[in-house]
Each structure stands twice: as C-alpha cells, then as structure tokens.
Amino acid sequence: MRYSSYRYSCALALALAALSLSSLPAQAEEATPASPETAKDGAAPAAQPAQALLPPQAGLGPRVGSYYLLRFNDTATPQAPAGAPTTRLGALKYMPLNANGDVTLSLSGMERAQFNSYSHESLVSQNYSDQLFMGFRHIYGADLHLGSHVRAYGELASGQMNGRDIGPQPPRQRNDLAVQQAFVEVSAPVGDGTLSVRGGRQGIWLGNGLILSTQPFANIPLSFDGVTAQYRSKSARIDVLAVENVANTEEVFGDSSNPGRKIWGVYGSFALPHLADDAVALNLDPFYIGFKSRNLAMAGLVGDDERHGVGARLWGKAGPIQLDTTVVRQGGSFAGHDVEAWAIYADAGYVIQSSPLKPRIGARFDAVSGGRDDGKIQTFTPLYTGQQYYAASGYLAGSNLVEAGPTLALNLSKDVRLSAYNRWYWKQDRDDAVYGRGFAPLPGTADPSIGYIGMQPDVTVQWTINPNLFLTVEGAYFDVSDGMKRAGGRDVFYSLVDLTFMF
C-alpha cells in the first residue's frame, strides 16, 4: 500500500505541475484588487483624514501567492472579488448552481512534493544519519455557498513519506485519507461588521501563528473539532473558540477528536488610531487562550497540563519600520505544581523602498521561559507553534529557549524572493532541558553546564513560477555547542526543496 501510494504521489505531482505550467493566466499580469475608496470613474479619491483600518488579511493566516493556506479564506464570500486572477483553472471557482446565482460552488486543490535531507535525526541523536526523503501532500476542498449567510466547507487530505533512513514517521506525515475539514458556517451582519459561527472540523490560525496554527510543514496540517465564532468589521476582528485538536492515524478516515487536548479562548485584533498621515499604522491583538493536555513531559516531570495564557501582540508599521511583538504570560498547573511561565517574541525590520530590491534588514529576539523556581513550573508550553519558526530543521521547540539574530530579505525579481538569517540559541534556564521535536526534552541536556545551544544560518529562495506553481529551496546548518556535543549532539545540515501546486 505504501509503495503504490508513493508512486501515485510522484505521478500526480508531476502531472499537476505540467497542468499548471500550461495553465497560464489570460493576461500578462494579475489585476490589482480595487480599493474600496477608489472612485467609480477611476479618479483618485479626495484626501480624507487617516482612518484606523485593520489590514484586510488580518486573521486569515499565511498565503502562498494569492492563495491562503486555510483554503476556505480564498472564497469567504459567494462572489468573486474584484480583480481576481483569471486562469484556466478559474472556471473551478464561484460556479453558479441556480438561475439566481446565489448558490455557488468553489473547488480548491493543493499538491505538494517536498524533498528533505537531514545529516542527523536530531541534535543529540545518532540513530538515523544522512536522511533523504520525499513527502507528498494532496488536499482537495469544496466550498458550497447557499446564499450570503450559509456555507458548507469540506476538505480531504492524504500524505505519504518515502526515503532513506528516515525512521518512524507520525500519522501527520503518513495518512492514507483523512477528513481534513468539514464545517457549516452561518453568518449575519451585526452593527458595521459580520458575525460568523462555524461548527465542525476546521483549521485555525490566530494572529501570526505563534499562539495557534495548523503547523503546515507536516504533510497533514493540524485541524480542530469544535465551534468557533468570528466577528469582523473594518477596524476589528474577534475570534472565539472552543475546540479539541484532531488525533491523526494512518487509517482511512481514522482521525478523530482528541479529548486529551482541549483549547478555548478569545483572540482580538484592533486597529489603533493612525498617526502622522498613516506613517504609523499599528494594530493591537489582546488574547486569552486556555488549554488542557494529558501526559506531557516537561521540566523533568510527567503529568497533566492546564494553562491559562494572557497576552497581547503589537504589530504594523512606523514609516519604513515593520514591527511584530508578542508577549504571553501562562498560569495554571502542571503535574500538581503551579505554573508561572512567559514568552516574548519580537521581530523588527527596516524596508528600503527606494531600492529596486526592496531589501528588508531586520533582527529577531525571542525568549521563552523554562525550569522551576520555588516549586513553580516555569517551562512555557508553546501549544501549536510550528517548530520551523525556531529553527529550519525543526529540532528546537519553543520551551526554555532564548534566540536572537539578524535577518535579511530581498526581492531579486518580481517573482523571486530571497530571505536569510543567522540565529544564536541559549537555554533560558540552565537547569532545564533543551526541548526538541514534539516538545520532548532532549536526553542529557538538563545539565547546568549547558547554556549556549548553538548557531544556525539559513538561506531560502522562493520562486512564483506562475500563479499556480511555487518553488521553495532552503538550506541551513546547525552548529551545536561544545556542551551539546558532550550530551551526544552533532552538527546538522538541513536542506529542503518544495514544489507546490494550488488552485
């Protein structure tokens, strides 16, 4: 079964890549979506006082080209947006099913072929070396709008993994067929905005994904069962959720809710008053997230974890400077001990608009608490942050960690973007462990003599081949410290080649 699935994945990925190359846009360039302030005759609008407007993409999650990873956000309304790109695959979007045109069906798809190589399985393991493997993702969805207030969205996913010396793989990498999403949404205008309520299985992405995300690096993105509600106006968005994460298996339609992982809370985004003729446009995201997890290993203990996280994110621009800072404090209990943990995430960049390369020169600093003090657990639980955020190889988790370093991004052309960084890593608490994949403590690292973990440079090139086909190439080298080497650690070289087709 695995071998035949692997061959099928290779063939399907190549076929769809060929289809994408032949599915060129009808126009040389994509049309720019019309601004709501644009006059009907095309004339520039009259000058108006600066308004505090939330960026339209706030709360929708990351994009690949013009497509959101949460595919239901591509077709959130039953009508095509003005200026939507026109390709031969566009016929699959906004298909009317009745004479009035208020019942529509939109189809979506993603094929991803991803090559990965690791010189070692993890920073301190020598069980699997010189790993080379291919991962395949197949996700197809259908979005049915019954008028302007009711929609039903469904999505199926399959993932395969094959290669050399790759070791055991979790069900989120190998899954024959899963119901990735299946929800019903009801919406209605409330005040100057729209209130929507979703029930069922769904992907969730809060803010920049550091609080809650789908962890999209795996073949099967994370999804949740439960109820969410969203309120959106021009200047605010509020998300409320009560869900359980989905426990994946390798069996066909074997995935189910995991009552051992419950999440609830509220996340808001609010546009702050603009200053200096829109030169300063900042947004504030206050939030509360509660969650329960069973049988976690952390800070040298194993037990049930219940947390209550309160924090805020400040993000936006101040002239050419881009800012994104999140602060979180966690209380609660873990394995019978009180919890007092915290995390700070900060990223800032300066964009040189006058240069044709539009370089963004920046720096990042993250500090996440760890250890124990006076009987209180201080090791932060990072929930569902994608581990590639901390290190390209995914070898470090967001617990007991301090990291910092410079960043650089360049637009090499209209369709090619290069980004690079160099990052240094330390333990926040020397007595606690270094945490790796699955937020598991790495053996031998709860050693007070280990403070500095190592350094990792990374270079990534992203190429939009056409509106439906995207190529990413990445390389990174993790230079572990002498202390990590004493614990059995070895330097790690990591590389990735990702070809993604979307419609």
Nearest to 104 by CA among 70, 42, 146: 146
Write down the pLDDT at residue 127.
74
pLDDT of 50 reads 55
- H/E stretch holding 96 reads strand 95-96
Query: Using an 8 Å Cβ cutoff, are 163 and 155 in contact?
Result: no
Do 292 and 258 touch, CB atoms closer than 8 A? no
CA distance 469 to 64: 9
Please check whether residue 331 is in contact with residue 375, taking contact to mean a CB–CB distance below 8 angstroms: no
Q: What was the pLDDT predicted at 83? A: 65
Residue 6, helix vs strand vs coil: helix
Which stretch of DSSP H or E encloses residue 44?
Answer: none
Q: How far apart are CA 292 and CA 1, in angstroms?
A: 36
Q: At a CB cut-off of 8 Å and minimum separation 6, what does 459 contact?
A: 418, 419, 420, 474, 475, 476
Low-confidence spans in the chain with pLDDT less than 50: 1-14, 16-49
Burial class (CB in 10 A: 0-12, 13-18, 19+), 242: middle
pLDDT of residue 77: 86
Alpha-helical runs (H) found in 144-266: none
pLDDT of residue 19: 42
- Burial bucket for residue 177 (CB in 10 Å: 0-12, 13-18, 19+): middle
